[in-house]
């Protein structure tokens, strides 16, 4: 399953750090953060997607405390 969400990050470097952190989560196939469009696309296992999304939000907050991931 591939889904896109709104992401609020302060800079392109922050977006890169979030992308790297989320990509390390088990079950994530791919992740892409577009800083300019303020979007994050996560591709992950269908059955675990909600759990992976929660972990992605937590990982993003850990590397960038001001980061917010929400539905479009």
DSSP 1-44: -EEEEEEE-SSHHHHHHHHHHHHTSTTEEEEEEETTTTEEEEEE
Instruction: Return the pLDDT at 72.
Output: 87
Separation in Å, CA 63 to CA 30, 33, 45, 48, 53: 18, 14, 23, 23, 16
20-55 pLDDT per residue, tens: 999 999 999 999 999 999 999 999 989 999 999 999
Instruction: Return the pLDDT at 43.
Output: 98
Structural domains for the chain: 2-70 (3.30.70.100)
Residue whose tokens read 């390390």: 24
Instruction: Return the pLDDT at 63.
Output: 95
Question: What is the value of pTM for the model shown?
Answer: 0.93
Average pLDDT, the chain: 96
């Amino acid at each position: 399953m591939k889904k896109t969400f709104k992401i609020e990050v302060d800079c392109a470097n922050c977006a890169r750090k979030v992308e790297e952190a989320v990509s390390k989560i088990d079950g994530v196939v791919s992740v892409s953060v577009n800083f300019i469009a303020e979007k994050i696309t996560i591709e992950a296992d269908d059955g675990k997607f909600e759990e992976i999304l929660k972990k992605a939000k937590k990982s993003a907050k850990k590397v960038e405390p001001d980061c917010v991931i929400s539905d479009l």
